[in-house]
Structure 1
Amino acid sequence: MAMTLSTPPVPADWTRHTPFSDPGRHAELLEDVAPSPEAIGPVVRNLLAHYRAEGVNMPVSSRDDINLRWVEEMLSVDQERHPGRSLQDPRATEARLQGCCRDHTLLSVSILRGQGIPARSRVGFADYFVPGWHSDHVVAELHDGERWRRFDPEVAPESGLLPDPWDLEVGPGAPFTTAAEAYRALRAGELDAASYGVAPDHELSGDAFVLTEVFWELAHRYGDELLLWDGWGAIPAPEEEMSEDLLALLDEVAEQLIAADAGDKDAEQALHALYVRDDRLHPGERVLRFSPLGDGPVAVDLRRGEDAVTRPGIP
């Protein structure tokens, strides 16, 4: 049964689908899922297998699933493999879509938005997958009429990774740290980035990785729910150092993200305006995809037919 909630006053309409979250012709499949974290989590884990954590059990033929960026296309591939089956019908692990946290979250957000509930994805770092390590991660948020409720659809309650994956704590000491929180702590000299990144000993980790994650957090907040291996705007290459001007801009972005999370409506408005007007922050019609499959960089056109929206979800 759909929930009816008042939309929080925001500059972006988080109840409205973006081109990324829109299920298109598959909308009915998602309408059968109750719009609660407890119901959504098992469904998205049934559809998706993590390309690294479960990749050893997955066929090579489906590896390119990880580059599916639109929910409509993700569901199309699922239905090709499981014609006419509901999303709750069990899928064998090897027949699931290969994806990552971004995909678990985007499907969750799609289900919620489709039933009128404000929802968005959050980019940051999780400390509950690898002991002593802060993994780059994406989780979901829904607005329950009173507050933003953060949850991790990728984590099963029985895994023991989190006390309650359906309602994550926020603030200091929380299991999930937003990219802006990590950025600010790093800039203040309060964070050792050596334990932050994709995985221990992975090249995508450390100071530069923490700094650039703010781009993804901001883009996802305002409807550009891009792949975690897309590049756009002023995002530097891994070996490139950020200019002082760019760091100053990201200092402002991080502070406004944290203030907006604390309920500062003026900060939300200012942040949204900055994102829309500054070409260094938002993607245009194309991004560069640097896939973990090693086939990049590939230029990808974000326009879908006549729906040439460069900052989707923004009225």
Structure 2
Amino acid sequence: MSLDFYRQPVDLSDPGTLGALFDSISSGPAACAKVVQGLLMHEHVAPAYGLALTDSQHAQAHIRSVSAMLESIVEHDPRPLTEARAVSARQIGVCRHFTLLHVAMLRRQGLPARARCGFGAYFQPGKFIDHWVTEYWNAPEKRWAMVDSQMDSVQRELFKLAFDPLDIPKGEFLVAGEAWARCRSGQADPANFGVLDMYGLWFIASNVIRDLAALNNREMLPWDGWGAMTPDDARIDLAFIDRLAALSREPDAHFAELRAIYRDDRRVAVPSVVFNHVLNRPEAA
């Protein structure tokens, strides 16, 4: 296990010159999650708060780095991050933004943390919906614990959560590699994995690649495409995704191989330019 690899903010999780903004936040996953919830608004859950977003607000969901997120937040409101913004004034993002900002805060505090891409079972009965959560190292219990930093009181009620989102129970969130393994073995139906009108094995395979990139500290947008991702089940390299899924299901046991395949295989590594499928254009990664 390489805890130090997940202890320092790097690349997209690096707050850059604005890192000192994190220093007033109380330590620990719960305190950081509360701050995140007071800063961000999920693009597709905004109606539950009575919000209708403008085009410029929707555009904020395409910000990739924590440093750019912070620049936007303090440009609109220079108060300390611990002071919750009005719901109408929060930075717009999706689950990945909540997770990445949470991870960055925890890393600033020296706590090993990483973003995981997969599927949540708690949004729609019978479905596993595309989602991101935080994993942090719970040292007293010597285990990785999962946190959904997006789930404030409004969303806990909205989605009728029957568990503590600060410690997601096994089975409520499946990392993409686990979802892939279940579908490949016939334990689950890939038609139940996805989001909006996009479901299927191809979607799971793409999330396996996104999760493996995140485990290498490259937490891309959920709609970024590159490498071996394909929207066609028939074009999936099943054996290759089987291998990636096995690595990402037990990343600490396979840490060296997980790092090597990301470094050496262009089908996995995030290139300098990715394709933003929402905006339908290539963009600098």
Q: Normalising to structure 1: TM-score of the pair? A: 0.82
Equivalent-residue separation in structure 2 for 1:124 and 1:117 (angstroms): 22
Is 2:120 aligned against 1:129?
no
Mapped partners of 1:82, 1:162: distance in 2: 34
Kindly provide the CA deviation profile for residues 20-76 of structure 1, in whole angstroms up to 9, marking residues without a partner as x: 011112111111112322111221111111111115432333110000101111011
Q: For 1:242, which of 232, 235, 249 is the aligned residue?
A: 235
Query: How big is the shift at 1:185?
Result: 1.2
Change (3 A) 1:67 1:234: same
Q: Tell me the equivalent position of 1:305.
A: none
In structure 2, the partner of 1:100 is 94
More helix by share: 2
Structure 1 match to 2:165: 165
How far apart in 1 are the matches of 2:95 and 2:162?
16
> Contact between 1:231 and 1:288, CA under 8 Å: does it hold in 2?
yes
- Give the alignment partner of residue 192 of structure 1, picking from 189, 197, 212: 189
Pair 1:44 & 2:36 matched = yes
Distance 1:49 1:111 in 2: 17
- In structure 1, the residue corresponding to 2:255 is in which secondary structure? helix
Q: Residue 153 of structure 1 corresponds to which residue in structure 2? A: 149
Instruction: Give 1:149 deviation, angstroms.
Output: 1.3
Secondary structure in structure 1 of the residue aligned to 2:227: coil
1:79 and 1:179 map into 2 onto residues whose CA distance is 34
RMSD: 1.8
CA distance in 2, matches of 1:107, 1:162: 25
Q: Give 1:225's match in structure 2, choosing from 219, 222, 230.
A: 219
1:62 aligned onto 2:62: no
Structure 2 CA distance for aligned equivalents of residues 290 and 53 of structure 1: 20
**SS of residue paired to 1:241:** helix
Structure 1's unaligned 5+ residue stretches are: 1-8, 303-315
- Name the structure 2 match of 1:139: 133
Distance in 1 between the 2:52 and 2:41 partners? 9
- Which residue of 2 is the match for residue 312 of structure 1? none
- Please list the CA deviations of residues 204-228 of structure 1 after superposition, one character each: whole Å capped at 9, or x if unmatched: 2122212221011101111111011
State the shift of 1:11 in Å. 8.3
In 1, Cα distance between the equivalents of 2:3 and 2:144?
Answer: 15
Distance in 1, matches of 2:134 and 2:46, equals: 21
- SS of residue paired to 2:235: coil
Q: Which residue of 1 aligns with 2:112?
A: 118
What residue ranges of structure 2 are gaps of 5+ in the alignment?
none
Pairing 1:28–2:20 present: yes
Looking at structure 1, the residues matched to 121 and 208 of structure 2 have their Cα atoms a distance apart, in angstroms, of 18
Map of 2:67 onto structure 1: 72
Give the Cα separation in 1 of the matches to 2:162 and 2:80. 28
Offset at 1:240?
6.2
2:136 aligned counterpart, secondary structure: strand
> How far apart, CA to CA, are the structure 1 residues paired with 2:4 and 2:273?
22
Is the contact made by 2:116 and 2:135 (CA closer than 8 Å) also made in structure 1? yes
Q: For residues 194-253 of structure 1, give each alpha carbon's deviation from its aligned partner in whole angstroms, at most 9, with x where no partner exists.
A: 221113xx1x212221222101110111111101111111211x246324xx22111111
Please give the secondary structure, in 2, of the residue aligned with 1:120: strand
Distance 1:165 1:270 in 2: 31
